[in-house]
Amino acid sequence: MAKVVVEAFKLTKPANHTTKITDLDKAGSWAREYIQTLEANGVTKNTEFMPKQSVTRGQFASFVVRAMDVKKEVSAADITAVKLVDQKTLEVTFNGELKEVKKRRLRHPRR
């Protein structure tokens, strides 16, 4: 989820950012930079990210809204729609292709 939001909105993390997330070590090494980027941009504000737990549609929608507030300008991969499909599915429509996300699996398998 963190990767999708960071890449969709082209969020960046300042080099001097110091994380306050206390459970970052529980995230896969590939995801840590994305999680810290969300934190640096105010998309997540909690000190616990809980990277091993599933994200609810409400949580994801909150991340999207906060990311939209960070990036007001239109880019090729902006989110154009967020639709509730059913109680467990949130459909996100992008204006363009997310190349890196398309090449890799969106969710890292739990170990």
pLDDT score recorded for residue 3: 93
pLDDT score recorded for residue 71: 72
Cα separation, 64 vs 43, in Å, equals: 8
Alpha helices by DSSP H, listed for the chain, are 2-8, 29-40, 57-70, 99-103
pLDDT score recorded for residue 78: 64
pLDDT score recorded for residue 90: 76
pTM of the predicted model over 0.75: no
pLDDT score recorded for residue 99: 55
Q: Are 98 and 7 in contact (CB under 8 A)?
A: yes
pLDDT score recorded for residue 52: 92
pLDDT score recorded for residue 97: 64
pLDDT score recorded for residue 72: 62
Cα separation, 1 vs 107, in Å, equals: 7
CA angle 82, 9, 34 (to 5 degrees): 105
Residues of the chain with pLDDT under 70: 72-78, 96-111
pLDDT score recorded for residue 92: 76
DSSP designation for 53: S
Pick from 2, 24, 29, 13: nearest CA to 101: 2
Cα separation, 8 vs 94, in Å, equals: 8
